[in-house]
Structure 1
Amino acid sequence: MEKSKVYFTNLRTDGNHNLQQKLTRLIKKAGIANIDFENKYVAIKIHFGEPGNLAYLRPNYAKTVVDIVKELGGKPFLTDCNTLYVGGRKNALDHIESAYVNGFSPFSTGCHILIADGLKGTDDVQVPVSGGEYVKEAKIGRAVMDADIVISLNHFKGHEATGFGGALKNLGMGCGSRAGKMEMHSAGKPSVNTDACIGCGACSRICAHGAAVVTDKKASIDHNKCVGCGRCIGVCPKDAVEAASDEANDILNCKIAEYSKAVIDGRPNFHISLVVDVSPNCDCHAENDLPIVPDVGMFASFDPVALDVACADAVNAQPVIHGSILDEARQKHDHTGHDHFHMNHPDTNWKSCIEHAKKIGIGTDEYELIEV
């Protein structure tokens, strides 16, 4: 496979160009206009940021992408799926409110927000994964699959389970419904926290296999009958149904790659990553720590695999910020290696996602970096 083109621009500005203008030039130079946007629905997948976190991408960047899509004749919307964990984005109402609080609105971005997997995270489409080894049918938020074109707009940062979060994680984990997220995170099946359970029976009513039952005002799940669809997680009003969250990190990465393929396979897609405020953990945290490296720049490509590798290489080429958690880890272990992500989270291996993505035909890790 020949090298993929990854386009890059730094964050330097002058009196004639601001960052939004530089991002516009980058995206256009990378060839986004080669996609036919005319009257097409365009899902712009973004992370709106968990309330309390300040490292997520500013809505100004989303507006830049929205404006380009509109200029090319497309009908854009910003989207994400609900979270598996309890927080400010576990259902569509809380999720949209969190997006508004963090500055994302039709007024600031120029388009509407659609939570792709619906009110309770149960509105998904089962999408076959061609060549999937771990996932045969990915559970993707319906609004994402209803779109004609997918654009991923990613905040590139560290991650405590996958090493880093970039294009593939934004697509794979981000576009999975609550049941899809459970499938990626878990080797096992959900169980009930009886202390939180109120015995309302919502889980038993949604279960098509009779696995969830209520006895003495407390629910339980028969794993012999459970098929792991995760619907019970979405409908529980008290978040008493919990995913196993016991999958090995390398397998989690492979599942993310397969979910990513389900999202982009067979339709136009384009990917943008901003390597700024490189926090050590995911934007799903309700806080963000000091960045681990200095800001790098903005990247764009038609190949999400090459894009992730280019961003990882760029981060690993940066000095460690003094006083960051990465600096503390390096001093503690007296380590001088250059894989900042592995040093940040030693139990992770980001390359497992890249290797599996290559294997199933999403893209290549060989890239040509073109500076704009």
Structure 2
Amino acid sequence: MENTKPRSTVYYTDFRVPVGTGLQQKLDKLMEAAGIGQIDMDGKFVAIKIHFGEPGNLAFLRPNYAKTVADVVKRHGGIPFLTDCNTLYPGRRKNAIDHLGAAQENGFGPLTTGCQVIIGDGLRGTDDIEVPVPNGEYCKTAKIGRAIMDADIVISLNHFKGHESTGFGGALKNLGMGCGSRAGKMEQHSAGKPVVQPGLCRGCRQCIKECGSDAIRYDTGKAVIDQDLCKGCGRCIGRCNFDAIYAPQDNANAILDCKMAEYAYAVCAGRPNFHVSLVMDVSPMCDCHAENDAPIVPDIGMYASFDPVALDRACCDAVLAAEPIANSVLGEHRADRKYTCCGDNFLDVTRGTTWHETLDHAEKIGMGTQEYTLKFVR
């Protein structure tokens, strides 16, 4: 029986370019083919949501791609600015001063991108606005950075990659977690507070370096997490190399995925939005880390759509179908007979993630569809 479910269109191009052209031109062409010109941008503020990358990480998107998006916006009469919100965990992006410094260090500024950089939730990450979540099941409202909500239009420019908690980071994560203020990020993470298995803890003290809430102490050489102080951000889980830290609530990652989808919907609902994903340098973990491991699959291409759910699904399908790179954590896990693999390129990087929950829930609440038609742009 033929599937009559409505399908969204996702536009795609690869990274091949003939002599005399470049990837920026190809990205420009992709966005125009996907219909960005249909948005009335004349004289309107356009928030370009991007991840500036934690200094030390080299997998984040180059500023050149941000300039291309900003140039397209200006060509259509819009007033673009690059934006992201402060982080919940320690690092160089937890307040606006450090965040702007990190962005500049990684090459993001008016001269390189053709537009200004504004941190969405202000100096301390407290400048947010509470907005309704359409059809929200876990969050009836979302705490979103005020500057992002003040924009007339939002464009997601996203580096598609793996993630230690959500399985993958795509448009929905870029919007949902990325646009949440510090309080919003805490709300999304609050379902899962990790605990330590003392028998597996080596006392290496790496987890305490990741904790931004002073929740970890060491008793008799073993880590202990204070549940009252813990924000549930999960960075300690990703940092532990010995699987000693875990979230005892089995559905913690699934709830995080669902909340993230709801936050993304809150960001986009009621105003024009457009989404671009670059599936390149597909690192196994988030660009929030101050380092990046080798890509798990080869570079695939650039994608664009008005539907972020369909876009993420198309990018997921492309990564799932790609051949693992041998010299990567995915390649090593596949080659290690002691590591139980399931053939899923996300789950075989980080066990326990539930990446499909983000897509399923975003589709359920009406943000978009996972059914898509892929159109290639030459």
User: Which residue, out of 73, 78, 82, partners 1:78?
Assistant: 82
Structure 1 position 298 matched with structure 2 position 302: yes
Let me know the Cα RMSD of the aligned residues.
2.1
In the alignment, what sits opposite 1:313?
Answer: 317
Q: Does 1:352 align with 2:340?
A: no
CA–CA distance in structure 1, aligned partners of residues 376 and 216 of structure 2: 56
| Offset of residue 191 of structure 1 | 11
SS in 1 for 2:347: helix
- Residue matched to 1:279: 283
- 1:273 partner amino acid: S
Query: Which amino acid is the alignment partner of residue 354 of structure 2?
Result: N
Distance 1:11-1:194 versus aligned 2 partners, 3 A rule: closer
Query: Do the aligned partners of 2:89 and 2:212 also contact (CA within 8 Å) in 1?
Result: no
- Aligned mates of 1:66, 1:192 — CA distance in 2: 36
Picking from 310, 330, 349, the partner of 2:334 is 330
What is the CA–CA distance in structure 1 between the aligned matches of 2:24 and 2:350, rounded to whole Å? 32
Unaligned runs of 5+ in 1: 197-220, 224-240
Residue number among 334, 340, 347 corresponding to 2:345 in the alignment: 340
- For the residues of structure 2 that align with 1:321 and 1:310, how far apart are their CA atoms? 20
Q: Structure 1 residues 194 and 265, CA, compared in 2 at 3 Å: closer, same or farther?
A: closer
- TM-superposed deviation, 1:130: 1.7
Could you tell me which residue of structure 2 aligns to residue 59 of structure 1? 63
Distance 2:297 2:227 in 1: 47
**1:141-175 CA distance string (max 9 Å, x none):** 00010000000000000000000000000000000
**What per-residue deviation string (whole Å, max 9, x for no partner) do you get for residues 271-316 of structure 1?**
0000000000000000000000000010000000000010011111
1:134 to partner: Cα distance: 0.5
Aligned to 2:174: 170
8 Å contact from structure 2 (residues 142, 180) kept in 1: yes
Q: 1:62-84 CA deviation, whole Å, 9 max, x = no partner?
A: 00000000000000000000000
Task: Give the CA deviation at 1:106.
Answer: 0.4
CA 1:353–1:192: 2 relative to 1, 3 Å: closer
Give 1:37's match in structure 2, choosing from 35, 41, 44. Answer: 41
Corresponding residue number in structure 2 for 1:126? 130
8 Å Cα contact 1:82-1:117 kept in structure 2:
yes
| Structure 2 unaligned spans of 5+ | 194-210, 218-225, 234-246
TM-score norm. by structure 2 comes to 0.84
* Alpha-carbon contact 1:254-1:353 (below 8 Å) kept: yes
Contact 1:191 1:244 (C-alpha < 8 Å) held by counterparts: no
The answer to whether structure 1 residue 369 and structure 2 residue 357 are counterparts is no
CA deviation profile, 1:11-68 (whole Å, cap 9, x unmatched): 0011132100000000000000000000010000000000100000000000000000
CA distance in 1, matches of 2:60, 2:212: 32
- 4+ residue segments displaced more than 2 Å: 187-196, 244-247, 332-338
Kindly state the Cα deviation for residue 244 of structure 1 after the two structures are TM-superposed.
3.4
Write the letter of the residue equivalent to 2:189: H
Aligned residues between the structures = 331
User: What is the match of residue 110 of structure 2?
Assistant: 106
* Aligned residues with identical type, % of pairs: 63
Cα distance in 1 for residues equivalent to 2:334 and 2:316: 18
Q: Distance in 2 between matches of 1:296 and 1:120?
A: 37
Question: Residue 208 of structure 2 corresponds to which residue in structure 1?
Answer: none
Asked whether the 8 Å contact 2:52–2:103 carries over to 1, the reply is yes
- Greater Cα shift, 182-191 or 291-300: 182-191
Residues 1:183 and 2:187 aligned together: yes
Aligned to 2:346, the other structure's residue is in SS state helix
In structure 2, what is the Cα distance between the partners aligned to 1:37 and 1:134? 33
Normalising by structure 1, we get a TM-score of: 0.85
